[in-house]
Amino acid sequence: MAKLTLEIQYKEMATTAKTDLLRRVLEQLYYSILFSGPDYSQRPTKWTQWLRMGFDVSVREQPRVARPEDKMKFDLASMGSKTEITVTHAADKTLAKFTQILTEVDNVRANTQGTAPKWEAAMALPIVKDQLVKPMTESMAKDGLRPDEITNFANKVREVVTLLTEDNVASVKTAA
């Protein structure tokens, strides 16, 4: 199983609420990648089961349809202006794509100038638009989700991208 250390450095200390939200949206990103992939294409209830669970930060349970060996396990430590997440268990291919997305989104955050929202530039990245959102929405449509349900999931991708590109984020570093 793959391992990863993710360090998010903030310009100012993140609140507990922000740290809880970060934990939740990163999980949502991971499972969106996992369920969009070929290993879960034959599990037509994956999205509806997850949708029934909800997306609130108080939901601590991971999607039940995920196989035990694919479930993401991690430790989170908030140390003032730095939050460190150590992923101790996850599916190798999914974690590799997860890491690549986080790296490219952070590059956009660091290099986007001007008044346009950084999250819009990050959402336009091929790895986000074509390798995450497109296969995810296609999988959901194939599994029979309604357009409003698909939009609900797509908004979760935008939420993680927005959170990682906000002005208070100084850097997002990943290390295997």
pLDDT, averaged in runs of 10, over the chain (176 residues): 87 88 88 92 88 69 87 91 93 93 93 81 94 94 93 89 91 90
Q: What is the DSSP string of 79-109?
A: ETTEEEEEEEE--HHHHHHHHHHHHHHHHHH
pLDDT of residue 170: 92
Calculate the dihedral angle through the C-alpha atoms of 137, 51, 76, 105, rounding to the nearest 10 degrees: 20
pLDDT at res. 97: 94
Domain that holds residue 112: 4-175
Q: Which tokens belong to 154?
A: 């797509």
Q: What is the pLDDT of residues 14-33, one digit of tens each?
A: 888 888 888 888 988 999 99
Number of domains in the chain: 1
pTM score of the predicted model: 0.91
